[in-house]
A and B are shown apart, each in its own frame.
Chain A
Amino acid sequence: MGVANESPMDGLVFEEALGGNLQKYILAHHGNILPIQRHRWCAQAAQTLAYCHKRGVLHCDLRPENFLLDEHLDLLMCDFGGSSLEGHFEGLGLPDYGFFDPTCGDPFTVTAGTEIFGLGSVMFFIMAGALPYESQFAQKANDVQDYAIAFAQKLRQHKWAEVEGPMASIIQGCWTREFASVEEVVLAMARRRLVLHESYHCLDSVPT
């Protein structure tokens, strides 16, 4: 048995994220994560997504599993396999239930607005350690279909999952289409002093 041929195409190499993915980390350490760390993650998620949009990229699968943590517990967005570049889509282009609004126009088309909604849900998970409404549908949450139906019903009734603290209005704003761009989310967080200049350990300021 031997190798028949070699591909002219190289592989992609990624640095292994020592902290694992955000979802696993939060579920494992939920009670011990300080609010300032959660705010930092929210700011990093918003800043990175704003950068992606500015470069013409929609991630299309925003969820806590697609954020990794490095050795400093800084967020790293990953998995761009289904993302869109300048409107060119690959894959199905849809995040999981809870991370897009099934009541908004064509729910199967990802837009900047869809991504802002998803960012709100990612931030909710960061702050609450659970999916929106997950505590109310704990037994059903394992069933994706049931959770999806319950989630859509809540949205149609304009019942938003409750969030406490300074992030509440930002998350609600993401869900209620208050923001026209992710940059506006970042600015709103900055006005509330929720974006830190030293958001990332490796830089004094984050490039935009």
Chain B
Amino acid sequence: MVGVGSTSQVVKLSSPSLGIVIKLPFHALAPDLIKFEHEAQVLRRLDRHPGIVKWGFSSHSFPTSVDS
């Protein structure tokens, strides 16, 4: 898994071997979490269409913070 980029909204991770990109919310910024949820809501509305990038929800939870 390698990082392919991040914005203030999300972190994108790419796994070339699996052929997937995972977009994770950047939980440190609450408004951006809302934006991430918005994208998920829009994708749900668009359902499956051949012209929309193929997507799904990951089946795992992700760490949101790290203590040191």
Residues on A close to B: CB < 8 A? 1-18, 44-45, 47-48, 51-52, 55-57, 68, 74-78, 80-83, 85, 88, 90-91, 200, 202-203, 206-207
Query: Is B63's CB under 8 angstroms from A6's CB?
Result: yes
Say whether, besides A11-B57, A203-B50, A2 and B66 are in contact (CB < 8 Å): yes
A206 to B41, CA, bound (A): 23
How distant is B27 from chain A, measured CB to nearest CB, in Å?
Answer: 7
Number of A-B contacts (CB under 8 A): 147
Say whether, besides A11-B25, A91-B35, A4 and B67 are in contact (CB < 8 Å): yes
A9 to B39, CA, bound (A): 13
Query: Is B52's CB under 8 angstroms from A10's CB?
Result: no
Query: Is A55's CB under 8 angstroms from B45's CB?
Result: yes
Give the size category of B's interface with A: 35 or more
Residues on B close to A: CB < 8 A? 9-10, 14-16, 19-25, 27, 33-43, 45-47, 49-68
Cβ contact of B51, chosen from A8, A57, A75, cutoff 8 A: A75
Say whether, besides A13-B20, A81-B39, A85-B42, A44 and B53 are in contact (CB < 8 Å): no
Cβ contact of A76, chosen from B9, B54, B62, cutoff 8 A: B54
Query: Which residues of A have CB within 8 Å of B64?
Result: 4-7
Query: Is A7's CB under 8 angstroms from B51's CB?
Result: no
How distant is A56 from chain B, measured CB to nearest CB, in Å?
Answer: 7
A132 to B21, CA, bound (A): 31
Query: Which residues of B have CB within 8 Å of A74?
Result: 50-51
A-B contact pairs, 15 of them (CB 8 A): A1-B67, A3-B66, A4-B65, A6-B63, A11-B62, A13-B57, A15-B19, A15-B54, A16-B20, A45-B51, A48-B51, A51-B49, A80-B46, A90-B34, A206-B49
